[in-house]
């Protein structure tokens, strides 16, 4: 019999318990042993929960239990949620998390501890929710040199942009709608400012190229400055606006990563990914383009990925999963990347700039630095990269 604990019994944590309740028999068949939820660590009053008998408030009980195999961290953030997983790893427990902030900012350190203690630190659910993304990247596509990763990595912003495009709903109203439906938090800053997607593209870049890419080291642009003018101008040209996290391997060995709203051609499969769905495109030198698509959030989709990691950790008890990253990546700045750019403002478009409706234009291919200089010269209010 294998035992695990859940730390933080919110949306994800309770979803993990529900997945075990629904699928416990088939999980046991895959493992070859019964999987038992032994503890739930949470400071709230859960006396009305059907799992009340499992609730504890002292982490030391988990830390010092020699029969506890895996700890699931679903607390969130990078404070308390850092200390408990660190201590669990040091105590020889496998740790599974859906916490993208923690993985993006402290993953390197926690993976080093896991390596030293010969245990697993797994985080499939930290990117893409229920979509299998990380394991295909480091396992199924291991025979490739990864050239580029681009993805719709945040369901909240994708829902807002979908409503702006399909319903003609202004940004503020679309965001309120997302909050009313439970897709956006009361404080949606991490989503609409691009921070959430930025953390996720860093994790993908970490695994793809083995060097640490920290969120504070990359350029992150959100969707707060977009208007229906931008949506209409893009649509007139055959584009959709999507918030993408993007990372590329450059010919000189450096890595470039950033997050920004892009004009995406309608013929690109990601242009049709709407609502709260996510999609990740991975380009390998052998396989070409692969796109992974599905629900990027929600209790059961995310819990599905968490449970997959729990099973994987237990199946690799004696020989841990070899994954991670070490030294800082050699980063290139966004100013060095060349692509067309969308500009919007009260200006006359230059002769070599494609004029759009609504006082907007699309430049020829140029570096981000050149596009920024042109935007400043013209007084453009909005500047967005165009995916080719």
Choose the CATH number for 2-129+299-315 among 3.40.50.2300, 3.40.50.720, 3.40.50.20, 3.40.50.2000.
Answer: 3.40.50.720
Three-state DSSP class for 156?
helix
**Dihedral over Cα of 226, 230, 235, 237: its sign:** negative
pLDDT for the residue numbered 80: 79
Q: Are 298 and 281 in contact (CB under 8 A)?
A: no
How many CB atoms neighbour CB 5 within 10 A?
Answer: 23
Torsion region of 26: left, alpha or beta (phi above 0 gives left; psi -120 to 50 gives alpha): alpha
CA 284 to CA 331: how far, in whole Å? 20
Residues annotated as part of the active site: 200
pLDDT of residue 189: 94
Q: Tell me, what's the pLDDT at 253?
A: 92
* Burial class of residue 36 in the structure, from the number of CB atoms within 10 Å of its CB (0-12 exposed, 13-18 middle, 19+ buried): middle
Residue 247: strand pairing partners: 149, 257
Name the residue with tokens 């503020």: 172
Cα–Cα distance for residue pair 326/161, rounded to 1 Å: 36
Collapsing DSSP states into helix, strand and coil, what is residue 225?
Answer: coil
Considering the four listed CATH numbers 1.10.357.10, 3.30.1330.10, 3.40.50.10800, 3.30.360.10, the one that applies to the domain covering 137-295 is 3.30.360.10
Distance from C-alpha of 339 to C-alpha of 308, rounded to nearest angstrom: 38
Q: State how far the Cα of 363 lies from the Cα of 377, in Å rounded to an integer.
A: 14
pLDDT on residue 355: 66
Show the tokens assigned to 42. 């949470």
Q: What is the pLDDT at residue 298?
A: 79
CA distance 218 to 200: 12
**Spans of all domains in the chain:** 2-129+299-315, 137-295
Same fold flag, 2-129+299-315 and 137-295: no
Alpha-carbon distance of 99 to 298, in angstroms, equals: 14
The whole-number pLDDT of residue 288 equals 97
Q: Which two tokens stand for residue 159?
A: 């829902």
pTM of the prediction? 0.94
Per-residue confidence (pLDDT) for residue 103, from 0 to 100: 96
pLDDT of the residue at 351: 72
Weakly modelled stretches of the chain, pLDDT under 70? 355-358
Whether 174 contacts 256, CB under 8 Å: no
């Amino acid at each position: 019999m294998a035992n695990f604990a859940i730390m933080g019994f919110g949306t994800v944590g309770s979803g993990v318990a529900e997945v075990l309740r629904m699928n416990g028999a088939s999980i046991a068949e895959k493992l070859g042993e019964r999987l038992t939820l032994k503890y739930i660590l949470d400071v709230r009053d859960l006396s009305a929960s059907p799992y009340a008998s499992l609730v504890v408030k002292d982490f030391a009980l988990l830390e010092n239990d020699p029969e506890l195999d895996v700890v699931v961290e679903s607390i969130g953030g990078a404070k308390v949620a850092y200390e408990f997983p660190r201590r669990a790893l040091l105590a020889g427990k496998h740790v599974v998390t859906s916490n993208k902030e923690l993985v993006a900012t402290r993953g390197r350190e926690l993976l080093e501890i896991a390596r030293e203690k010969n245990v697993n630190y797994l985080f499939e659910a930290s990117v893409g929710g229920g979509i299998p993304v990380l394991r295909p990247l480091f396992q199924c596509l291991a025979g490739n040199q990864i050239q580029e990763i681009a993805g719709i990595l945040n369901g909240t912003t994708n829902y807002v942009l979908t409503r702006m495009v399909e319903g003609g709903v202004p940004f503020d109203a679309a965001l309120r709608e997302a909050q009313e439906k439970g897709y956006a938090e009361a404080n949606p800053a991490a989503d609409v400012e691009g921070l959430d997607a930025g953390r996720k593209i860093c994790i993908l870049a970490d695994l793809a190229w083995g060097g640490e890419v920290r969120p504070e080291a990359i350029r992150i642009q959100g969707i707060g400055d977009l208007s229906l003018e931008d949506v209409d101008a893009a649509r007139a040209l055959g584009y959709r606006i999507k918030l993408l996290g993007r990372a590329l391997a450059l010919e000189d060995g450096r890595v470039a990563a950033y997050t920004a709203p892009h004009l995406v051609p309608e013929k690109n499969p990601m242009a049709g990914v709407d609502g709260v769905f996510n999609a990740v495109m991975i380009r390998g030198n052998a396989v070409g383009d692969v796109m992974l698509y599905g629900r990027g959030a929600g209790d059961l989709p995310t819990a599905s990925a968490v449970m997959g990691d729990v099973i994987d950790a237990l199946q690799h008890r004696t020989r841990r999963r070899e994954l991670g990253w070490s030294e800082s990546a050699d980063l290139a700045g966004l100013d060095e990347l060349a692509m067309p750019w969308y500009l919007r403002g009260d200006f006359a478009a230059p002769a070599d700039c494609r004029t759009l409706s609504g006082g907007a234009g699309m430049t020829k291919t140029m570096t981000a630095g050149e596009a920024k200089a042109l935007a400043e010269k013209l007084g453009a209010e909005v500047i967005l990269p165009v995916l080719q």
